[in-house]
Amino acid sequence: MSGYLAGDPEPTAECGCCGGEAVAQWCGVEVGMIQIAPFRCMDCGAQLDPIVDAERVTGWVPADEPAEARITGYYVNDRGGVISMTFDQGHAEYNDMMGTTTGGLLHRGWVRITNLEGYAIDLPPFMTARTRRALSELLARIEDERGWGVPYMKAMDEDRGREAHWTEVMAVVSRLPAEAGEEKRSGLWR
Ligand SMILES: [Zn+2]
């Protein structure tokens, strides 16, 4: 726990689990603000030094990971963080909560993976090295442990997707640029 002086910008932290931006809660005192709740990642819900069962835990603690059988999909964010989706908290609910859309997140370099109506992967127009690494590990793990079958892959600029083994998905990914194109830099997508 810490604090900051009145007039200074509110401190944020980089999430130790997914690299997302974490924010804390602050309370005003005479000279500034003191922290009254742990930093919590806005992308994956991990907390820094939280109190669990009445004891302080040091370091980043991931949000409760849903049981494997309940997982219906994922977002892989542009920092390589993997956010699990379930029947109750799917992509639509995540977007509602965060004020985002799947299209907007794809344009930020996120990947959407769903296994609700078949195993499908939506690829963004560009992908960072950290996202590539996380995606490759995740797809290999799904292949080994899940029995979701062959994914239906859809690239951003295609109207229709196609079935592709995960290694073929990674071959397509390897040809994506590592940075956003003009439309991202112009601020068209947020
Ligand atoms: Zn996070």
Q: How far is CA 131 from CA 69, 120, 147, 153, in A?
A: 24, 17, 23, 16
Task: Give 19 Cα–ligand 1 centroid separation in angstroms.
Answer: 6
Distance 70 CA to ligand 1 centre (A): 20
Q: Tens digits of per-residue pLDDT, 74-88?
A: 999 998 888 889 988
Distance 43 CA to ligand 1 centre (A): 5
- The 3-state DSSP composition of the chain as helix, strand, coil percent (nearest 5) reads 25, 30, 45
Ligand 1 midpoint to CA 93 (Å):
17
Quick one: pLDDT band at residue 36, thresholds 50, 70, 90? confident
One-letter identity of residue 66: P
Rounded Cα gap, residues 138 and 144, in angstroms: 10
pLDDT (average), residues 40-51: 88
* CA end-to-end span of the chain: 31
**What is the pLDDT, as a whole number, of residue 183?**
52
Strand ranges for the chain from DSSP E: 3-5, 13-14, 21-28, 32-41, 47-48, 51-52, 55-56, 60-61, 71-76, 82-86, 111-114, 120-122, 152-154, 162-163
Distance in Å, CA 79 to ligand 1 centroid:
9
pLDDT for 14 beyond 50: yes
CA distance 150 to 33: 52
Predicted local confidence at residue 56, as pLDDT = 86
- Give 16 Cα–ligand 1 centroid separation in angstroms: 7
The whole-number average pLDDT for the span 121-147 is 95
User: How many whole angstroms from 48 Cα to the centroid of ligand 1?
Assistant: 10
Measure 158 CA to ligand 1 centroid, in angstroms: 30
| pTM for this entry | 0.74
Question: pLDDT band at residue 189, thresholds of 50, 70 and 90?
Answer: very low
